[in-house]
C-alpha cells in the first residue's frame, strides 16, 4: 500500500503540509515564537497521520493485528520535541509561564489520550487490557519515588545540618554515602533481598509492617539509600555557601544557633537544597523501574514483562509514562528552584 493510501490522500497531504510548514517555521533561528509554533504544527501533523493511519491499516486485518509507530514516527517526534525544547529555552519563560505551559501540555496530552484518536494503536490496546494494573502501577511508582524522596529529606536534612556544623561527622558521612551511590542499581536491589528477608525473619513485628525480602520495602530502601547522598551533600553545600560575613553578623547580633539556622542559613541554602531534591526525584523516578524486578511494583512491572515476552508495546507502556513522569518532575522542581532563587518578597515587617 502506498503511503498516501494509508490515511487517504487528503489527510496525508494536510499532515505532510503541516510538518513541512513546521520544519520551515522551525528554521527561523531569530524567532523563537515561530519555532515554538512550528514544533506544535509539526506535532499536530504527526499525530493526525498517526491517528488516521492506524484505523485504516486495521480494517479487515483481523482481531490479532496490531499497529505500532515505526522508526520514522519516533525520529520525527524527536525532531519536533527538540525543536520545542530549543524554542522554549530561547524564550526563557519565567517560572509562572513555564508552569502554565506545562499544565497546557499535560491537559493536551490527556485530551489526546481521552479522545480515542490513538486508541487503535497497539500500546493503547495493551493499556486497555490492563487499566486496573496500570493505575496500581502508576500509584506504586509515584509512591516509591516520592516516598523515598520524603524519607531521604527527613533523614538527609538533619544529617546535612549536623555535617555542616561538625567537620568530623562530615568526613565520616559523605564518603559512606558516596560509596552507597557507587553500588550498581541492580546489585543494590539484589542486596536488599537477603538483608530484608533476614530482618523479616528475625525482628519481631517486622513482617507485620510489611518488611519482606521482595516487594515494596526493599525497593523503597534501595531508593532511599541512593537518595541520601544528593540530599546531604547539597544541604551541606548550600549551608556552606551562606556568606560568612552574614553568618558572623548574625552571631554577633545575638541570634541563637537555631534562629541563625532558620532565618539566615536555611533560606540562603534553599535553592541548592532544592536542586538536590530535583536530582533525587528524577533519579528515583527512573530507578524505581528496577523495583519491577523484585516485585516492588511500578511501571517496571510492564517493562520487565515486555522484555520477557519480547513485547515492545508492553515495554513502552512502562517506559513512556516513566519518561513523562521524570520530565514533569524535573520541570516542576526547576520551577520551584527558580521561585526559591528569586529574592523573596518582603514579609510583614
10 Å Cβ neighbour count for 160? Answer: 27
Q: Could you give the CA distance from residue 178 to residue 183 in angstroms, rounded to a whole number? A: 9
State yes or no: residue 187 binds other proteins (CB under 8 A): no
Q: Could you give the CA distance from residue 229 to residue 188 in angstroms, rounded to a whole number? A: 15
Which of 175, 178, 248, 323 touches other proteins by CB under 8 A? 248
Of 98, 161, 177, 148, which is closest to residue 282 (Cα–Cα)?
Answer: 148
Q: How far is the CB of 273 from other proteins (least distance, A)?
A: 14
State yes or no: residue 347 binds other proteins (CB under 8 A): yes
- According to DSSP, the residues that pair with 121 across neighbouring strands are 67
Q: Which is nearer to other proteins, 38 or 238 (CB)?
A: 238
State yes or no: residue 241 binds other proteins (CB under 8 A): no
Total residues contacting other proteins by CB under 8 A comes to: 22
Q: Could you give the CA distance from residue 267 to residue 269 in angstroms, rounded to a whole number? A: 5
Backbone angles phi, psi at 29, to 5 degrees: -60, -35
Q: Which is nearer to other proteins, 177 or 250 (CB)?
A: 250
State yes or no: residue 245 binds other proteins (CB under 8 A): yes
Tally: H helices and E strands in the chain: 15, 0
Q: How far is the CB of 337 from other proteins (least distance, A)?
A: 15
Q: How far is the CB of 271 from other proteins (least distance, A)?
A: 10
State yes or no: residue 259 binds other proteins (CB under 8 A): yes
The interface region with other proteins, picked from 69-77, 187-195, 224-232, 254-262 by CB under 8 A, is 254-262
State yes or no: residue 268 binds other proteins (CB under 8 A): yes
Backbone angles phi, psi at 67, to 5 degrees: -115, 130
Which of 8, 93, 158, 267 touches other proteins by CB under 8 A? 267
The interface region with other proteins, picked from 28-36, 51-59, 246-254, 329-337 by CB under 8 A, is 246-254
Which DSSP string do the residues of 95-150 spell out, in sequence order? HHHHHHHHHHHHHHHHHHHHHTTTTTBHHHHHHHTTHHHHHHHHHHHHHHHHHHHH
State yes or no: residue 243 binds other proteins (CB under 8 A): yes
Asked whether the beta carbons of 297 and 242 are under 8 A apart, the reply is no
Q: How far is the CB of 343 from other proteins (least distance, A)?
A: 5
User: 205 — alpha (psi -120 to 50), left (phi > 0) or beta?
Assistant: left
Q: Which is nearer to other proteins, 193 or 255 (CB)?
A: 255
Which of 19, 264, 291, 326 touches other proteins by CB under 8 A? 264
Binding site for other proteins (CB under 8 A): 243, 245-246, 248-256, 259, 264, 267-268, 343-344, 346-349
Amino acid at each position: 500500500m502506498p503511503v498516501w493510501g494509508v490515511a487517504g490522500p487528503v489527510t496525508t497531504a494536510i499532515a505532510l503540509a503541516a510538518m513541512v510548514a513546521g520544519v520551515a517555521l522551525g528554521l527561523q533561528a531569530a524567532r523563537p515564537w515561530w519555532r515554538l509554533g512550528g514544533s506544535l504544527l509539526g506535532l499536530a501533523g504527526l499525530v493526525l497521520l498517526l491517528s488516521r493511519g492506524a484505523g485504516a491499516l486495521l480494517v479487515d486485518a483481523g482481531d490479532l493485528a496490531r499497529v505500532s509507530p515505526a522508526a520514522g514516527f519516533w525520529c520525527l517526534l524527536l525532531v519536533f520535541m527538540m525543536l520545542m525544547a530549543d524554542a522554549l529555552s530561547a524564550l526563557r519563560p519565567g517560572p509562572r509561564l513555564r508552569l502554565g505551559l506545562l499544565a497546557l501540555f499535560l491537559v493536551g496530552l490527556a485530551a489526546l489520550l481521552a479522545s480515542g484518536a490513538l486508541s487503535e494503536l497497539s500500546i493503547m490496546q495493551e493499556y486497555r487490557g490492563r487499566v486496573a494494573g496500570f493505575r496500581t502501577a502508576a500509584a506504586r511508582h509515584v509512591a516509591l519515588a516520592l516516598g523515598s524522596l520524603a524519607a531521604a529529606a527527613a533523614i538527609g536534612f538533619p544529617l546535612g545540618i549536623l555535617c555542616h556544623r561538625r567537620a568530623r561527622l562530615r568526613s565520616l558521612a559523605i564518603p559512606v554515602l558516596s560509596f552507597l551511590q557507587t553500588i550498581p542499581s541492580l546489585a543494590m536491589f539484589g542486596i536488599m533481598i537477603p538483608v530484608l528477608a533476614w530482618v523479616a525473619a528475625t525482628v519481631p513485628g517486622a513482617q507485620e509492617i510489611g518488611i519482606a525480602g521482595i516487594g515494596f520495602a526493599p525497593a523503597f530502601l534501595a531508593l532511599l539509600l541512593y537518595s541520601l547522598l544528593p540530599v546531604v551533600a547539597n544541604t551541606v553545600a548550600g549551608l556552606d555557601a551562606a556568606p560568612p560575613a552574614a553568618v558572623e553578623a548574625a552571631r554577633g547580633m545575638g541570634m541563637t544557633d537555631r534562629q541563625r539556622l532558620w532565618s539566615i542559613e536555611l533560606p540562603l541554602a534553599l535553592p541548592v537544597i532544592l536542586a538536590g531534591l530535583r536530582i533525587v526525584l528524577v533519579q528515583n523516578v527512573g530507578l524505581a523501574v528496577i523495583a519491577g524486578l523484585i516485585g516492588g511494583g511500578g511501571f517496571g512491572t510492564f517493562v520487565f514483562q515486555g522484555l520477557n515476552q519480547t513485547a515492545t508495546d508492553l515495554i513502552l507502556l512502562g517506559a513512556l509514562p516513566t519518561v513523562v513522569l521524570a520530565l514533569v518532575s524535573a520541570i516542576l522542581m526547576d520551577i520551584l528552584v527558580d521561585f526559591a532563587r528569586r529574592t523573596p518578597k518582603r514579609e510583614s515587617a
